[in-house]
Amino acid sequence: MCDDHDHKGVTVWFTGLPCSGKSAIADRAAEILKDRGYKVERLDGDIVRQDLTRDLGFSKADRDENIRRVTFVSKLLTRNGVVVLTSFISPYAEMRDNARRQIGEFLEVFVKCPLDVCIERDVKGMYKKAIAGQIKEFTGISDPYEEPAKPELVIETDKENLAQSTDRLLQALKDRGYLD
């Protein structure tokens, strides 16, 4: 248990293809950190698009605006001592780099998973619709995903289970002084 008044805030920015495992790792890490007494906030692409960015579509301009707004919220939370766990595809390196500059205390986590495994995991059938041409500008199919050049952590979800991935994330945060 920690004293939540004196730990340093940080934004953990999970990026990766749809269905790579970003949300699962972020959700599990949030549970563990809350149990330990940390102030934690989860910002997830599906949830944020229901309120904060529901006016946006999926063009590059709208995706950039989505990430710009999430960056602003993450920056405010981080400077107030919150561990912010974001899970956004965030396909463009320029916007992730901008988030890093704006937020400062920032850990980029590349959730790496082969496209065929992501397609197998897709319970919503979004990849199937994108391959059939029913969804335009779908990351990994008809829109690019720019892999991070130098993420602080790479988690390969096809090679390790959720507990291993979460443990590696928590250790990375501890090694950088964000956790006791």
Residues labelled catalytic = 90
CB 176 within 8 A of CB 42: no
Query: Which of these, 165, 167, 170, lies nearest to 155 by C-alpha position?
Result: 165
Query: Which of these, 51, 26, 20, 58, lies nearest to 40 by C-alpha position?
Result: 26
Q: How many CA atoms lie within 13 A of 150 on its CB side?
A: 3
CB 49 within 8 A of CB 33: no
